[in-house]
């Protein structure tokens, strides 16, 4: 039994790292659904855009031909990586704000209009990526301290996956503290319960929606940057990301912060363990898991009426 568990250890670690990244991506998606009441189908494209912006800030080979950036690329890779982690999400947040301004005309109308607009935005962003960066796949360079591998017993494991898991834990923890321990988080949670009540209390609802959409877009970009060395950077990577995010939200329950985190971990573990035995079934396994859980609990593992819980 110990030998079996020991042999599965790399797959378990892969599943935990992948699940935490899915959870981080899904939480940004869930924030937008809660306050905007819009299923943002462009969330995956924002995820991809974050990876491309980070790539531009990390290496001239994956960037745009701006001559004035040449001195910048002389900086150490580690410093450029930190800059990419900060600046990339900010740039994507600005794109998210522009998208939210376009969405405003759909508020109060049939939800299908918002769904179609974000679907169109996803197609536009993907084609824009193809025009600017081309259809080729890129691989993101990493600082030496988080690249390579380490030996555990007679197993060799990726250092970066451990870093990705720890970073995701830190981001999820900070997001929970922000939502539950700051007045800004309280307003966002109140908006998820009843947006009109937030307006009645004197808050600018339009501004709240703008900032929440930007915040959700930034979270998508962070997930895209951290996921890029694992999945690669290619124009259609957003499609690969938005579907698991949607599965995680439904599986965890639209209404539960920790439900989304638990569902992300569960999806990551199921995908990783299935890949260990039946590679062709690894992605299908998450849909089978969703069908199984929703058949028993229609609102997911911890679904509630609101989008965020204490």
pLDDT tens for each residue of 198-243: 777 777 878 888 999 999 999 999 999 999 998 889 998 988 888 8
- Say if residues 60 and 73 touch (Cβ distance below 8 Å): yes
Does the residue 79 lie in any domain? yes
Q: Is residue 13 part of a domain?
A: no
DSSP string, 97-142: HHHHHHHGGGTTS-HHHHHHHHHHHHHHHHHHHHHHH-S--B----
Which stretches of 126-249 are assigned E, i.e. beta strand? 149-152, 155-158
The pTM (predicted TM-score) of the whole model is 0.89
Q: Return all residues near 289 (Cβ < 8 A) that are at least 6 apart.
A: 251, 266, 267, 270
Question: Are the C-beta atoms of residues 121 and 45 closer than 8 Å to each other?
Answer: yes
Residue 122 sits in which domain range? 21-235
Answer yes or no: is 132 within a domain: yes
Mean pLDDT in residue range 86-108? 92
Contact 284, 270 (CB under 8 A): no
Q: Is residue 122 part of a domain?
A: yes
Query: 245 and 286 in contact (C-beta within 8 Å)?
Result: no
Please check whether residue 298 lies inside any domain of the structure: no
Our count of domains for the chain comes to 1
Least confident of 62-71, 126-135, 189-198: 62-71
In a domain, 75, yes or no: yes
Residue 257 lies inside a defined structural domain of this protein: no
Determine, yes or no, domain membership for 177.
yes
């Amino acid at each position: 039994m110990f030998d079996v568990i020991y042999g599965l250890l790399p797959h378990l670690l892969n599943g935990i790292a992948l699940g935490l990244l899915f959870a981080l991506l899904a939480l940004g998606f869930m924030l937008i659904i809660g306050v905007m009441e819009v299923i943002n189908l462009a969330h995956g494209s924002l995820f991809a855009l974050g990876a491309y912006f980070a790539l531009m800030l990390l290496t001239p080979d994956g960037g745009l031909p701006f001559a004035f950036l040449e001195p910048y690329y002389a900086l150490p890779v580690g410093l450029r990586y930190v800059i990419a982690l900060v600046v990339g999400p900010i740039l994507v947040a600005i794109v998210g704000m522009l998208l939210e301004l376009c969405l405003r005309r759909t508020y109060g109308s049939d939800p299908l209009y918002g769904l179609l607009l974000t679907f169109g935005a996803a197609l536009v962003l993907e084609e824009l990526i193809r025009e600017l960066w081309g259809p080729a796949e890129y691989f993101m360079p990493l600082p030496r301290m988080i690249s390579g591998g380490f030996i555990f017993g007679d197993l060799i494991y990726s250092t970066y996956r451990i870093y990705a898991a720890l970073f995701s834990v830190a981001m999820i923890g900070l997001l929970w503290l922000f939502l539950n321990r700051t007045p800004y988080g309280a307003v966002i949670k109140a908006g998820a319960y009843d947006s009109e009540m937030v307006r009645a209390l004197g808050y600018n609802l339009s501004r709240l929606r703008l900032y929440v959409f930007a915040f959700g877009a930034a979270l998508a970009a962070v997930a895209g940057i951290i996921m890029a060395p694992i999945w690669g950077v290619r124009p259609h990577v957003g499609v690969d990301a938005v579907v698991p995010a949607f599965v995680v939200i439904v599986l965890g329950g639209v209404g539960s912060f920790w439900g989304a985190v638990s569902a992300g971990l569960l999806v990551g573990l199921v995908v990783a363990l299935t890949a260990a035995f039946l590679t062709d079934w690894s992605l299908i396994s998450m849909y089978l898991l969703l069908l199984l859980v929703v058949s028993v609990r229609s609102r997911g593992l911890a679904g509630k009426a609101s989008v965020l819980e204490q």
